[in-house]
Amino acid sequence: MGIDFKGRVAIVTGAGGGVGRQHALALAARGAKVLVNDLGGAVDGQGGAMTAAHSVVEEIRRAGGEALANGASVTDFEAVQAMVAQAMDAWGRVDVLVNNAGILRDKTFAKMDLADFRTVLDVHLMGAVHCTKAVWPIMTAQKYGRIVMTTSSTGLYGNFGQANYGAAKMALVGLMQTLAIEGAKHDIRVNCLAPTAATRMTQGLMSEEDLRALDPAAVVPAMLVMASQDGPTRTILCAGAGTFEAAHITLTAGEWIGTGPQAPEQLAERLAEVMDRTGSTVPPNGAAQGNNELARARAAAKARV
């Protein structure tokens, strides 16, 4: 059985070019009705025109698909609500949301204006929050939803000159963790995609050969799997140049040190043991950390009796 989206409605933000365009085209090719959102701004978020969104819509229609264009800024919640209403008015449901819109304002943290930090957070994090908030009651009511956040290796592992971008991208992982838990009873599955792709944001940074390998279309299979009916939830998939990986936020088994006056020195001495990844786990929720700590404390107390 192939993955298909017949009868499904998808919204893809930042879909006028790059990875977002490929997402929109792929969803449409597999049967989804697609609302193509793109502000049409520059890489840094300046300006705006709906030309790019209309172009992708025309591409989808020429291939026999159904699509609508939308030029809302994801930073404007009222405009986002109107965007979701546009999809509902046309097609009566929203099944898939791909939060892909983003901008770059790279500088070292020392040289970065706080305004540039805040703007990047506003687009990536609050943009995804706005779109997700607007579709959440619809997905809850229809007992079905698939949401894909776009995180990044910069958020997961860091990258020089991208403190704002990395903070925003890792925040989306935290958002996913809780929304996946809250959405489970309504069959709303929430995942993150960390793409490596040659786009406007990577021009001038790589060789021509590497740029060809990092075709934005190569990351789309990960999105399609996560957005599909049988897709996972609370999963971070990384993708680029035909390779797919999974990233996990793990918890080591840890060591009980105690709370005595020498605890800081003892922790410093035994830090390697605390950081030992043997037997590490992927916790099902945040409470697992506290449960592990209490279990260790109880075991230590029992051993002292």
Rounded to a whole number of angstroms, the distance between the first and last alpha carbons of the chain is 59
H and E: helices and strands count for the chain: 12, 8
Question: Considering 97, 165, 199, 216, which one is annotated as catalytic?
Answer: 165
The position carrying tokens 């943009």 is: 127
Which residue from 58, 132, 144 is spatially nearest to 98, judged by alpha carbons? 132
Contacts of 280 (CB under 8 A, 6+ apart): 250, 251, 252, 253
User: Following DSSP, what letter does each residue of 50-67 receive, concatenated?
Assistant: THHHHHHHHHHHHTT--E
CA–CA separation, 26 and 224 (whole Å)? 8
Let me know if 165 is a catalytic residue: yes
Alpha helix (H) residue ranges in the chain: 18-29, 51-62, 77-91, 114-121, 127-142, 153-157, 163-183, 208-213, 220-227, 263-269, 271-275, 287-304
Query: Residue 261 is which amino acid?
Result: P
The position carrying tokens 């030309």 is: 51
Phi-psi region of 211 (alpha: psi -120 to 50; beta: other; left: phi over 0): alpha
Instruction: Indicate the burial class of 272 (C-beta count within 10 angstroms; 0-12, 13-18, 19 or more).
Output: exposed
CB-CB contact of 154 with 124 (8 Å): no
Coil, helix or strand at residue 269:
helix
User: Active-site positions?
Assistant: 165
